[in-house]
Amino acid sequence: MGTFLGHLVPGLALTLLGLWHIINTSRNYFAKGSSNFKSRFWHPFTASAPIFKHSELLLVFSFSIFAIFAQLFDFPFLRLPFELDGIEHATMFLHLAIFSGFSLFAEINHKAETLSGVVGVLAASVFGQELLLLHFHSADHVGLEGHYHWLLQLIVLVSFVSSLAAICIPTSFPASLVLAISVTFQGCWFMDMGFFLWVPEFVPKGCTTQSIYASKELVHGTVTCGSSDADSRARALANLQFSWMLAGILFLTGSLCLKLAGKCTESGQHTEYERLQGKGAELPLSYDGVRQSQP
């Protein structure tokens, strides 16, 4: 993952997955109401044909297996370099493959409701192991690169805590929404790291990329700053990127919730109006019946 594409591809995948969860979590909450809402760690494609119902799990599982092989094997030579950081990255995807594979197996065998607690534990383990391996990473990230990875750990910590909250309080909409937002944030931050740490044109002023090897498609290296002022300025820029990115995700989430809440309110008003109309139509009939029954 210590390359531009190694951050861009999984970052894009996580972003799309997180947005998918934000949309479905919000839609389920406003459609079912707070009393009937229940947290989900994956969402079916209900609008598509039944064959595509488990597409999310299939895509996550397939991507995880591909990422494991990509981290362990040196393409295109298909040899095992046994690099420790690659094994650590593959282990992160291994837990994701276990979660998606188990969830898919439970669905196929109609045991999803019975095993929902186990699915939640496996989902939380994905973030727990990711946090562990990032914190004790064999590749000692220092300087600006270390600061970006420290901010990444904060996001993963939020994902881990919110997943535990969703397990303990399955009817909590805030826990489920925070989890979806944090997954989206992880993906966006991965892509941001790919650009600002591995693309020389995006490296902050006063800092340079020390490339180990480079090509038009792939850049592998680390960032060093020429002075303490340049390093401080680059860290401050990373903090601003972190804050602005979170603000953008929260703005989109808030806008979506406002739109869905408006639709829910309109639907509820129409239902209440129709119910009152039905009652009003029945009243004259009952009154006429009373009048006719009188001598």
Name the 3-class secondary structure at 141. coil
- Helices 4-32/228-293 angle, 10° precision: 20
Write down the pTM of the prediction: 0.84
Of 159, 178, 38, 172, nearest in space to 96 by CA: 159
CB 206 within 8 A of CB 234: yes
pLDDT tens for the 295 residues of the chain, in order: 668 888 999 999 999 999 999 999 999 999 988 889 999 999 998 766 677 889 999 999 999 999 999 888 876 666 676 778 888 899 999 999 999 999 999 999 989 889 999 999 999 999 999 999 998 875 667 789 889 999 999 999 999 999 999 999 999 999 999 999 999 999 999 999 999 988 888 999 888 887 655 444 444 557 888 889 999 999 999 999 999 999 999 999 999 999 999 887 655 454 444 555 555 555 454 444 444 444 4
H-helix segments, the chain: 4-32, 55-72, 84-108, 116-135, 143-168, 173-198, 228-293
Could you identify the residue written with the tokens 């904060």? Answer: 154
Tell me the two tokens of residue 158: 């939020």
Output the CA angle 86-119-183, nearest 5 degrees. Answer: 55
172 Cβ neighbours under 8 A, 6+ residues apart: 39, 165, 166
- Helices 55-72/4-32 angle, 10° precision: 160
Burial class (CB in 10 A: 0-12, 13-18, 19+), 4: buried
